[in-house]
Amino acid sequence: MKFGPSQLAYCTNIHPAESWEETRKMLRKHVLTVRDLVCPEGESFGIGLRLSAVAARELLENDQLPAFRDWLAENCCHVFTINGFPFGSFHGTRVKERVFQPDWCDPARVDYTKNLFRILAAIARPGDGASVSTLPGSHKTFQADESAIRRHLADLAVWLDGLAAETGRDFHLGLEPEPFGHFENTRETLAFFDRLHHDAADSAAIARRIGVNYDACHFALQYEDAAASLDAMAAAGIRISKIHLSNALALDPRDPAAIDAIRAFDEPVYFHQAIARDEDDGIRRFLDLPDFLAAGKSGLLEARVHFHIPLDAEPAPPLRSTRQQVLDVLDWRAKHPGACHHYEIETYTWAVLPGNLRRPVEEQIAGEYRWVMAAAAANP
């Protein structure tokens, strides 16, 4: 959908689909329903596609890709971005640290990402930019070899330059900082990109092709000001490839009722990192929600938990959301309309939401679209 000078989609990682056949069925069942609920008649509906490594390989086989391109045209849809963070299964099984595997040390991650760009080269509309979002290199607990990460990213930037010259499209990869990622906040992101440029044979290609996927939830967890963070990245020459419009949970850890309420969000599929702020304005990080629940809370003033909740549905007190971070991002967008052209609603946790927050999935997504469009219109 049109979003001023930008494009807005929702990420289809909310729908379980691992093979291409499952993805195709998901698009027909869910995406077209959401399109009919929110997209103005006659306007092409932008899709934020999620493809597993298996689905991407299958889509590139036989005549599947031309058939998909035809399906998009017939249904007044287009794909401008792909979520390439989850390589394998993303629903119904333990995801947690596995979503970071393989990381950017592994050539399998490079091959998968190239497949996603090959798909975009075939299906993206002429003249459109096309993006892929991915993990922030690795996970801190993996103790990754950063030199391998930087080498693979630098090589990919040169490869993307060639693909862009061949197709006339603006391709870019967005690395997505996340708590406990190889880099997770503004300071670590700036330092990583400085090292990436320093070692690269073609720093200009990196500036064109490798940037950041800014996830509002993730940076809210870090207690960072959205405008200051985005301005710092832009000032450092880091491309803002895509912005995820997403919410985290927040609570007062001194309130026993809040601690009881947050237990309803402790589930075994996804990482729900918790970051707490103490009386001295220090930060305490917890790898997952059970670690936070088991820890002492003395001296803590606020805690934020990595659990994406719908943008238009506040949790019941004593819990609250970090919705203000999304509003701050939209305010920054209004002041910098050309800084980022890809925006994506990314509330992937529908299947594990507590019942009081869960609606039929298409209605939830449509409600989030309406909330985003209204919030953006209120701050033109």
Confidence check: pLDDT of 197 > 90 = yes
Give the predicted TM-score (pTM) of the model.
0.97
Which of 370 and 356 is assigned the larger pLDDT?
Answer: 370
pLDDT band at 355 (very low <50, low <70, confident <90, very high): confident
pLDDT at 128: 87
Query: pLDDT (tens digit, 9 = 90+) per residue, 255-285?
Result: 999 999 999 999 999 999 999 999 988 999 9
Positive or negative, the CA dihedral 68, 69, 75, 80 is positive
CA distance 223 to 179: 12
How far from chain centre, in Å, is Cα 177? 9
Task: Please report where in the chains the tokens 């509309």 appear, as a residue.
Answer: 125
Q: Locate the domains of the chain by residue range.
A: 2-246+323-377
Question: Helix or strand or coil: residue 213?
Answer: strand
If you average pLDDT over residues 123-132, what whole number do you get?
93
CA distance 47 to 342: 11
Question: Helix or strand or coil: residue 82?
Answer: strand
What's the order of all strands across the beta sheet hosting 300-309?
283-286, 274-278, 300-309, 247-251, 320-321
Query: pLDDT (tens digit, 9 = 90+) per residue, 307-327?
Result: 999 999 999 999 999 999 999
pLDDT band at 127 (very low <50, low <70, confident <90, very high): confident
CA distance 163 to 46: 22
Structure tokens at 63: 């005549």
Which of 3.40.50.2300, 1.10.3720.10, 3.20.20.150, 3.30.70.20 would CATH assign to domain 2-246+323-377?
Answer: 3.20.20.150
Q: Which among 342, 350, 351 is positioned nearest to 367, based on CA atoms?
A: 350
Confidence check: pLDDT of 2 > 90 = no
Tell me the residue type at 5. Answer: P
> 343, 6 in Cβ contact below 8 A?
yes
CA distance 155 to 200: 9
Name the pairing type of β-strands 129-134 and 283-286: unpaired
Confidence check: pLDDT of 380 > 80 = no
Confidence check: pLDDT of 356 > 90 = no
pLDDT band at 300 (very low <50, low <70, confident <90, very high): very high
CA distance 69 to 128: 15
Name the pairing type of β-strands 6-10 and 45-50: unpaired
Query: pLDDT (tens digit, 9 = 90+) per residue, 140-192?
Result: 999 999 999 999 999 999 999 999 999 999 999 999 999 999 999 999 999 99
pLDDT band at 353 (very low <50, low <70, confident <90, very high): very high
pLDDT band at 93 (very low <50, low <70, confident <90, very high): confident
Q: Which among 321, 316, 324, 312 is positioned nearest to 367, based on CA atoms?
A: 312
